Amino acid sequence: MVTEGTNNFSPAYSAWIGKPVVMLVVIRNCHVPVSCSIVGESAANVRVRIQPGWELNVLKELILAVEEVVIPANSRVN
């Protein structure tokens, strides 16, 4: 395993960790929106939680866009 240079990657997705997002991902030449929350990030992958107990790694090269889901104040549960 080559670990040289893995400590100096730029954490581009760390601003969204723990927040609900919609991620646009390429799967077999199709653009698929995925509703999830970002759990973690490595040099090549982003770890996402689709629902409680269901997490997966998504290759960064397959991610086209990430947008935070904003819930209006009147729709939030206290």
pLDDT tens track for 15-59: 899 999 999 999 999 999 999 999 999 989 999 999 989 999 999
Inform me whether the pLDDT recorded for 72 exceeds 60: yes
How far is the CA of 77 from the CAs of 9, 21, 52, 72, in angstroms? 37, 18, 18, 10
Q: Cα(30)–Cα(14) distance, rounded to whole angstroms?
A: 26
- Residue 12: pLDDT band (50, 70, 90) is confident
> Given this model, what pLDDT does residue 25 score?
96
pLDDT for 8 beyond 90: no
The topology (CATH level 3) of 12-69 is: SH3 type barrels. (2.30.30)
Give the list of residues 6+ apart from residue 6 with CB closer than 8 angstroms, or none: 43
CB of 8 closer than 8 Å to CB of 18 = no
